[in-house]
Structure 1
Amino acid sequence: MKAKSVKLVYFSPTGTTKKVLLSIANGITSDRVECIDITRPETRKTPMKTSEDELLIVGVPVYMGRVPALIIDWLNAIQAHHTPTVCVVVYGNRVYEDALLELKKIIQQCGGIPIAGGAYIGEHSFSTDATPTAAGRPDIDDIRHAEEFGRKIKEKLQSVTSISELSEIEIPGMYPYRGDSTLWTVDFISVSDKCTQCGICAELCPTGAIDPQNSSKIQVEKCITCCACIKNCPEHARTMKPGLVQDASIRLHTLYSEPKKPEYYV
């Protein structure tokens, strides 16, 4: 069988998940690729529908070994009609635990047919110049791996005439899930006088936690500690305050310095 089009759905505050999915799509070499970025709040207001003649690729970052709680409701509202689906998670070189299995089960409950799964490494949200963790990932080797994954997906689809001929993929993980997707509520961002109020941080924030008129004002209860505002500030005016998140950055740098390798299941 051949998919008429490919839909890429990704939640990607710092761009790593988006980069992985685009690389997978490059390996598939489809003429029709549609990108659906659900990072910003307004993009998660409309549910998505897919059909059995499309290929759906869903990518999410791993939060505490789980699918981010922020996007669970949107994912559960997907209306897939026997749509062949690829599940992808991106983690910061620690562990992805049950996130890939959780994503697979969500897709199944929405009517999708998981035909492949992948776990890739992206620079950790808490990575800094002083305490880097998976800095620069996904790198060129990760990109090549993702493109090869795309080619394997294409070969699998072309090997059958109907989605019903494909057997269910085995994904590592445990149920009940081990991790807790509840995020920290913590005031951890320091804004210096280098801030020019350009508004980039507010525009990129996936929860709308930053006041667009005064970027030093942050609704802590909305913040998901993705650090997109820190990593994308053109003036480097935003940094981590001493405390819980900075301590975690140091701990990750110390304990998870050995580079992990991406995996896929087809």
Structure 2
Amino acid sequence: MKIKSTKLVYFSPTGTTKAVVEGVAQGIDAIEVERIDLTKPESRLKPLHTGKDELLIIGVPVYMGRVPEVIREWLQSIKAKKTPVVCIIVYGNRVYDDALLELTEILVADGCLPIASGAFIGEHSFSSVEIPIAAGRPNIQDLSQAEAFGCKINEKLAAILSVDEIGKLNVPGEFPFRGATKLWNVDFIAVGSDCNQCQICAEVCPVGAISKENSRQIDQEKCITCCACIKKCPLHARTIKLGPVHDASIRLNTLFKEPKQPDFFY
């Protein structure tokens, strides 16, 4: 089967999901590639339409065992005509619960045909130098596995004549979906005296929760606890306060130290 173009779609506040998707695309060795970065709010305003001679590679992080609510409506608005799709989720070394099944079912309802799925590990958004949780993931080995995953997908595409030969893809998960779609509404970010109001945090926030006039002002109801503002602050002026998020990071560090490996489904 000949693919005319490939679209890479990802929501990646801290860059881990983007890295995995790019690794898979490298293995597929796509020639004509379009990137749709859903982390940017403006990218979520334009609907996506695809055909059967295109390939979609869609990657999302796992939030509370689910597909992030902030992008669910956009994903559900995709209009596809038997478009082959690779479904990718990235989780912080805990569990991915039903996120992969949820993403797969959303895309099937859109008219996509899942040809392969993968669950990868990325550094947890709550991870820090003091309390590391899957620190440095995806690492070189993870990205090598992502590329090998892409190579196998390429082989599978080459072995079929048309999308009509793509069978049902079974992935783990339960329905009704477990986990929570509503995230914590909690004041958890401390802004230190080193903050010089460079506004990089406001620029990288995927939901516009940080004031562009005063980066110390954070809209807790909008915040999705992705911690992009903390990880991308050039002066390390933002940290996690003592409280429920900090406590959760300690639990994750304690209970999920053993490095997990990616899962693949074809």
Q: Per the shorter chain, which TM-score range?
A: over 0.9
Q: Is the partner of 1:60 in helix, strand or coil?
A: strand
Q: Could you state the TM-score of these two structures normalised by the residue count of structure 2?
A: 0.99
> What's the offset of the Cα at 1:33?
1.3
Q: Which residue of 1 aligns with 2:98?
A: 98
Identity of aligned residues (%): 60
Q: Is the partner of 2:23 in helix, strand or coil?
A: helix
Q: Which residue of 2 aligns with 1:72?
A: 72
5+ residue gaps, structure 1, are: none
> 2-side partners of 1:203 and 1:209: how far apart?
10
Q: Could you state the TM-score of these two structures normalised by the residue count of structure 1?
A: 0.99
After superposition, give the CA deviation of every residue in 1:122-160 in whole Å (9 maximum; x if it has no partner): 000000111100000000110010001000111111111
> What's the offset of the Cα at 1:227?
0.3
> What's the offset of the Cα at 1:41?
1.4
User: 1:1-266 residue pairs with structure 2 within 5 A?
Assistant: 1-266=1-266
5+ residue gaps, structure 2, are: none
Superposition misfits of 4+ residues, deviation over 3 angstroms: none
> 2-side partners of 1:42 and 1:209: how far apart?
15
> 1-side partners of 2:47 and 2:30: how far apart?
24
> 2-side partners of 1:105 and 1:172: how far apart?
12
After superposition, give the CA deviation of every residue in 1:60-104 in whole Å (9 maximum; x if it has no partner): 000111101111100000111110001000000000010000000
> 1-side partners of 2:259 and 2:183: how far apart?
25
> 2-side partners of 1:67 and 1:166: how far apart?
24
After superposition, give the CA deviation of every residue in 1:35-58 in whole Å (9 maximum; x if it has no partner): 100102121111111111000011
Aligned-residue CA RMSD (Å) = 0.6
After superposition, give the CA deviation of every residue in 1:174-219 in whole Å (9 maximum; x if it has no partner): 1111111210000000101100111110000000000011100000
Would you say the 8 A contact 2:113–2:166 is kept in 1? Answer: no
Would you say the 8 A contact 2:204–2:228 is kept in 1? Answer: yes
Would you say the 8 A contact 2:208–2:222 is kept in 1? Answer: yes
Count residues with an aligned counterpart: 266
